[in-house]
Chain A
Amino acid sequence: MVVLKRLSKAYVRGGTLVTALREVDLEIKEGDFCAFVGPSGCGKSTLLNLVAGLDQPTSGEIILDGRSTVGFSNAEWTAMRRETIGIVFQAFHLVPALTAEENVALPLLLRGEGRRDVMKRVDEMLELVGMRPRRSHRPGELSGGEQQRVAIARALAHRPRLLLADEPTGNLDSHQGAAIMTLLKTLAMAGRQTVLLVTHSRHAAQTADYVWTMQDGRLVARAERVEEAVS
């Protein structure tokens, strides 16, 4: 589902060249639930941003669903995100002006889906994340856990084949974090989605099928269990 070939990313910050990612080679199969762990600044989020097309690599190639993204225009990346990718952020990033149900409907409306389909799918997703009773509330009226549930519903509403989750439990307490990871895992399995999870949380990483450890912009080890990766 995701193939990275010698993927690198460097940028200039304060006049200094910083290499965030160094020639990463990786293949993630369809339906895999893969976690990336490592210290801050090791390149985890950069990797996710590149896979989502939110940022452009300095060199290397990203192949998504068998398509090379080299030379993709902004419009092609937009189409890729609309069709294939769903993203969950640490800070939820819900649109404050919209209610929970409107936020969930957002990716469907951006794709131009029909009214009836949107309504049906929004109902379904809110039901799945347990947010139907709070559907008319705006983000400011929801707790962190509730906001992240809505964000997950939004990320999955358009049935993406690839779900990217960047520290989804980073702004939540341990209880809410565990609940969110369970929900994420359940929904991803039900939808047969491939999941790339970036996390600091050991508990969150435990949800994954396998764990990649990163350091200084490189993938240094793959482990089947988080304990192995951390050790």
Chain B
Amino acid sequence: MTVVSFLTVLRLILAAQVFQRPLRTGLTVIGVALGVSASVAVRTANVDVLRSFEQAVLTVAGPTTLEISGGELGLDEQIMTAIRQVPGVRSSSPVILQTAVITRGDRQETVQVLGLDLLAEVESRGFHLRQAADRRLEAMLDPNTILLGKGVASEWGVSVGETIDLQVGPGLTTCRIVGLLEDATDRTALWSRLAVMDIAAAQVTFGMVGRLDRIDLVTEKDRDVEEVAQALRAIVPPTVTVERPSSRTAQVDHMMRAFRLNVTVLSWVGLLVGMFLIYNTMAFAVAQRRREIGIYRAIGMTQARVAGLFLSEAAALGLAGGLLGSAAGFLLASELVKLLSRTISDLYVPVGVGNGLALEPDWLWRLAAEGIFVGCAVSMIGSVGPSMNAARTAPVRALAPGDYEVGQRLRVGALGMGGFILLVIAGVLSTADPVDGVPVPGYASTLCLLAGLSCIAPVCVTGWRRGIRQPGLQSTMGGIMRAIAIDHAARNPGRNGVSISALMVGLSIMIGVLVMIKSFRNTVEVWVSETVMADVIVAPSLWLRGTEAGSTGRSLPGSWSEVLSSIPGVAEVDTYRDVRVTVQGRRAAIVSRDLRIHARMSRYWVRHGDSAGRLVHAADIDGVLISEILADQLGIREGDSLELVTPEGARRFPIVAVFYDYATDGGKVLMDRRLYQSLWRDDLVTVFPVYLDKGADLDLVRERMATRLSEVGGRLPPLLISNAELRKEVLEIFDRTFLLTYVLEAIAVVIAMLGIVNTLVTSVLERRREFATLRAIGAGERQIGQLVLWEATYLGLIGIGLGLVGGGALAVLLIEVINKQSFGWTIHMIVPLGGILQAVGLAAAATLTAGYFPSRWAGRQSIVEGLREE
């Protein structure tokens, strides 16, 4: 048979199979499509968020080749004079990039405000001015004027000449719109989403007179950029960075790596469960078409071609599933991207929450092609076993009358032993170190755990039969339909084992992730309640917006400490400053506060010793406390010293204690405010934790604070958050972060349900003769339905049992290995019985629902046709 004729045969057979078995074909395609959709959606959302960030960076950077950044603490503008002297620097532009909130009535929205030297930069950065009220640049340089992106203006229904209110840090500024911005090219719409001010106006508005966020440089074309960067690094303060604009994307990519990797791996669970579904469909197809295979072999088809035939069928299913899944994935991604952007903005950097996907068509085609490839690959991998089985079928045996399963006896014992070995390997892998910071052995351990339990599933199917039912009339009396159902299930350990595995994987993931999330939530809740003891937190108005708020939106003047201390009812005022820095190449935060006040009023969860003693000791000896994440990342511990680059140069600090911290997956260095100020010369405060006198009325003191601060702080009052409100907010951010996890989990569970439906439909099709016989000797439709439901129950019970074991083990792996190696947090495990019961109930309900429709259908099959089936 030539390849061409084989392809003709293949086409004929494929068409016949698809149209003869539309229901099962449909179920399988939907299962694959769901798996593909989850993976495509997560991949697309990840790419979209990063591409948007990259595009934003590069568009705003314009012709910039190097950026000099002072991080959160900013730069002294005087440095520009020295920079301009460096050989190779053609031009330098001061930049302020902050976030403000536009307010009009009750409506609020964040907008990135860029402060630029408008005299030098209009028409050179990539934006045009449209509808300028006054084309004269002098008008645009006026303080309290703003150029607003066309898109933002149209959404807000404002036009040139009108005013808008901008909330920035503790202040509120009213700005007149003097022009609308639009992008110079059609490739991006970034400028139409921004606002621009002249640099001087921005310095005033954001309280940064004499300071800048960044200086953008254009280097001479004939000079090596890296060479110029080296020369610049030699003259700027040690805390200032000199980098290409594109390296910011790489940094963000690296920062989010663990988060994105974990979400991506979770999105693959749907593919894994889909693979089980394909296995089942193809295994049944091979069993049912045993005679057909015999005929093909008898008329000259080779073993390889028979295998190829079934692999091609699987690939066709995968292709259909991949196409559907990619389309569904893009739809899902347009929602997911908002969720992901919000989470990344909460946890890492502000990436802006767009409206749906902003990817270019090239990227969408590429991601769709990936989805289709994944669909085909998953289908073909899932069908390798059944296809090989088909190829090995001896023609004589295939053509002989007999039972379907004869040709595919399963060596259940050997498989069970293999499963046990895989579980041992999973245990060994769980103790291995991560590879380049990625918990590769942890993931491999998870895979071995699930594969091991999958191999044990057929043993349970056959083994439990002996436990549940001994052949004989006595046991049958308990329920004839139950007996038949269990016996039938046990006679098909291969196929049923796979369905059970699908359910087991779905439930294991549900329980494992649930235990991890609940444990994590509980740990965070206890941590917050034991370490955040302040009665009121005085914070900038944008503080709860996290990184979105920009650096000035997250700081208050240090002078407020005295104002707050003078208010009746206030016992102590702490000054908490949180600044992002790089510690030995790793992202971290330097936290400074009055350690003595904190020692008296609150505590840290220190790994060894008592909190108060360590805090006071650190204040005494100019030492630091570091978070466990940083300690683990740098391989240092209590008693060692830590080198930090300060504005005064590199300096070593003794490590007094290591503390548990769950606020960020970057590290933290805690030091006394006095020490911090002496080195960083930063008087700002991020928040003021305020402790009240015993018996003081919280609402009354808060009211006094609001009144007093409005007198000194401008028109916009800061946030005065009570302890309870803060805890609530922390948990809300936590829950929002894990929402994505639940979405992906739900997809895996739906696919597992489809697996059960597929198995039961298969079982009904396979047993039409048996059901017809039962009907002929007096069984009613309901009794046949009960039989199918009993089978579903039996499979469900085993799946749930294994799922509980898998879920428990997975929870330990997630908490102790994968989370620990990915993020570094120590999570105290709890067993959320209620949640587990809900998951089990959901799995049971899913199984019975999946069994319900096949059970109804089984009872309604034609008896005469059923009796004619071989």
Contacts and interface: CB of A to CB of B under 8 A. Distances in A.
Interface of A: 49, 52, 54-55, 74-75, 78, 81-82, 86-87, 89, 93-99, 101-102, 105-107, 109-111, 115, 118-119, 122, 136, 138, 154-155, 158
Contact of A54 (B471, B480, B779, B864): B864
Give the bracket for the number of chain B residues in contact with chain A: 20 to 34
B770 A95 contact: yes
Contact of B487 (A94, A98, A154): A98
A55 B775 CA distance: 12
B777 A122 contact: no
B165 interface: no
27 contacts: A49-B864, A54-B776, A55-B862, A55-B864, A75-B780, A78-B779, A81-B777, A89-B776, A89-B867, A93-B773, A98-B487, A99-B471, A99-B472, A102-B471, A102-B483, A106-B774, A109-B477, A110-B777, A110-B778, A110-B779, A110-B783, A111-B778, A115-B477, A118-B477, A122-B473, A136-B471, A154-B777
B780 A105 contact: no
Nearest to B487: A97
B779 A102 contact: no
Nearest to B773: A93
Given A55-B864, A101-B472, A109-B477, A74 B777 contact: no
Contact of B491 (A49, A75, A97): A97
Contacts of B339: none
A11 B779 CA distance: 26
Contacts of A107: 777-778
Given A54-B863, A96-B770, 6 more contacts: A87-B776, A89-B776, A105-B476, A115-B477, A136-B472, A138-B471
B484 A97 contact: yes
A102 B778 contact: no
B779 A87 contact: no
A192 B403 CA distance: 37
The winner among B471, B776, B777 for most chain A CB atoms within 10 A is B777
B531 to A, nearest CB: 62
Interface string B44-64: 000000000000000000000
Please list the 7 inter-chain residue pairs (A to B) with the smallest Cβ-Cβ separation, ordered nearest first. A97-B487, A82-B778, A93-B773, A54-B863, A109-B480, A78-B780, A110-B778
Contacts of B403: 96
Nearest to B486: A97
B525 interface: no
Contacts of A93: 769, 773, 776, 867
Interface in B835-864: 862-864
Contact of B483 (A87, A96, A97, A111): A97
Contact of B776 (A52, A96, A118): A52
Contacts of B864: 49, 54-55
Contact of A78 (B480, B484, B778): B778
A81 B204 CA distance: 94
B491 A102 contact: no
Given A78-B779, A107-B777, A101 B473 contact: yes
Nearest to A80: B778
Given A97-B483, A109-B480, A102 B777 contact: no
B638 interface: no
Interface string B426-438: 0000000000000
B622 interface: no
Nearest to A160: B778
Contacts of A155: 777
A107 B776 CA distance: 10
Contacts of B491: 96-97
A170 to B, nearest CB: 13
A111 B480 CA distance: 11
Given A49-B864, A102-B483, A95 B773 contact: yes
Contacts of A55: 862-864
Nearest to B777: A107
Contacts of B472: 99, 101-102, 136
B781 A109 contact: no
